[in-house]
Amino acid sequence: MSRESSTNQPKYLRIAAELRAILERGDYAPGDRLPGENTLAADFGVASLTMRQALGLLRGEGLVGSRKGSGWYVEDFRPIRRRGIPRLARDQWGSGRTIWSADDDRSPDVDQVTVTEEAAVPQHIAEVLDLAENETVCVRSRRYVMENRPVMLAASYLPQVLVAGSAITEANPGPGGIYARLADLGHAPTRFREEIRVRMPSGEEVARLSIPADRSVIKLARTAFDSEGRAVEVNEMTMDSAAYVLDYEFDA
């Protein structure tokens, strides 16, 4: 392994960059155990604490993970390629398929789901859905796991008056999901808007996603509009940033 170069960067950042290049080059396969911290520190000519900082940075990126009493390993999880445009096409959910089947060859499981009717509306959601002061929403909260790993938390907000008595208020809304059921109600989504930002996770998000506290999360808010331009759903998603590649392909 090459020694640190003479730059103004902190040592742990320079070492992290070199280790990242080594991993990207494929010197270690997914699941391989890395040399011990002391061995790596000696190879790079730094203190063990500096090496631990470098490895912690790569753990935050999802490239390596530690196992108590066993050391550091190359992560073997293949990120989900989330194809943002084809997954929302009407011929996807309209044919009874899940939007996830447009992403890659794997589909996540929902291991936690809660449906709450007549729920109070957060102010920012009420503004997007254009709800009156006394209106309520149906909230569908889910946790998604892939290969036994939590990857996303999601909460969909829909006007209560719109979905009351429909399959949308059930844990399993049926083939095609809630967009197909909105179509059944005469409010098929015809346009979507997605807003994306990245931030550090809350304590609850760290616990529910089982991620390190220093790993960022992707916050994606999607609004679905019907043919009359009415916002019929807001879906707020919190994604493990190391578990996703956001893929948007469209014509010029």
Torsion of CA 212, 214, 215, 219, to 10 degrees: 110
What pLDDT was estimated at residue 224? 98
Rounded to two decimals, the pTM is: 0.88
SS3 label, residue 180: helix
Q: Which residue is listed with tokens 């390629």?
A: 81
Beta-carbon neighbour count of residue 191 at 10 Å? 12
SS3 label, residue 238: strand
SS3 label, residue 169: helix
What pLDDT was estimated at residue 7? 60
Q: Which domains does the chain have, with CATH numbers?
A: 11-74 (1.10.10.10), 80-247 (3.40.1410.10)
32 vs 162: CA distance, rounded Å: 52
Which contacts (CB < 8 Å, 24+ apart) does range 141-145 have? 141/112, 141/113, 141/114, 141/115, 141/116, 142/110, 142/112, 142/113, 142/114, 143/110, 143/111, 143/112, 143/113, 143/208, 144/108, 144/109, 144/110, 144/111, 145/108, 145/109, 145/110, 145/111
234 vs 139: CA distance, rounded Å: 10
- Can you give the pLDDT of all 252 residues of the chain as single tens digits? 544 444 678 999 999 999 999 999 999 999 999 999 999 999 999 999 999 999 999 999 999 998 888 899 999 999 999 999 999 999 999 899 889 889 988 889 999 999 999 999 999 999 999 999 999 999 999 999 999 999 999 999 999 999 999 999 999 999 999 999 999 999 999 999 999 999 999 999 999 999 999 999 999 999 999 999 999 999 999 999 999 999 999 888
Residue ranges of E strands in 120-251? 137-146, 149-159, 191-199, 217-225, 231-240, 244-247
What pLDDT was estimated at residue 40? 94
Rg (the chain; Cα; Å):
22
